[in-house]
Amino acid sequence: MKRFKKILAVLSDEVPTDAAFGWLACLAEHAEAEGVDLLACTRAVLAEYPSVGGGADEGDRLAEIGRAAAGAMGGHPTELIESADDPLRATLKRLASGEYDLVVVPVDGPSTRGLAERLARKSPVGVLVLPEVSPAPPKRVLAALDFSDLSELTLDWAEAFGTLHGGGAELEAIHVLDLTLRTRATMVRDARKIRADLREAADWQMRAFLDDHARDASKWSHRLVEGQLPGSELAGLAEREADLLVIGCHGRNALSIALLGSNTAEVVRHATRPVLVVRRKNQNLSFLRDLIGWEG
Q: What is the structure's pLDDT at 265?
A: 83
Q: What is the pTM of this model?
A: 0.86
Q: What is the structure's pLDDT at 224?
A: 92
Does 66 fall in a domain? yes
From 5-14, 46-55, 83-92, the region with the lowest mean pLDDT: 46-55
Percent of the chain scoring above 70 in pLDDT: 79
Of the spans 29-33, 93-97, 109-113, which averages the highest pLDDT? 93-97
Could you give the dihedral angle defined by the CA atoms of residues 24, 4, 278 and 292, in that order, rounded to the nearest 10 degrees? 90
Q: What is the structure's pLDDT at 259?
A: 34
How large is the average pLDDT for residues 27-41?
87
Q: What is the structure's pLDDT at 59?
A: 66
Does 296 fall in a domain? no
Domains contained in the chain, number = 1
How large is the average pLDDT for residues 47-53?
43
Q: What is the structure's pLDDT at 215?
A: 92
285 or 145: which leads in pLDDT: 145
Does 283 fall in a domain? yes
Q: What is the structure's pLDDT at 14?
A: 64
Q: What is the structure's pLDDT at 106?
A: 92
285 or 271: which leads in pLDDT: 271
Mean pLDDT of the chain: 81
Reply yes or no on whether the pLDDT at 174 is more than 90: yes
Q: What is the structure's pLDDT at 260?
A: 34
Write the CATH number for 160: 3.40.50.12370
Domain that holds residue 203: 6-291
The pLDDT-based confidence of 84 (bands split at 50, 70, 90) is confident
184-238 tens-digit pLDDT: 555 667 778 888 888 899 999 999 999 999 999 999 999 998 887 788 888 898 8
The pLDDT-based confidence of 295 (bands split at 50, 70, 90) is low
Q: Residue 220 and residue 217: Cα distance in Å, rounded?
A: 5
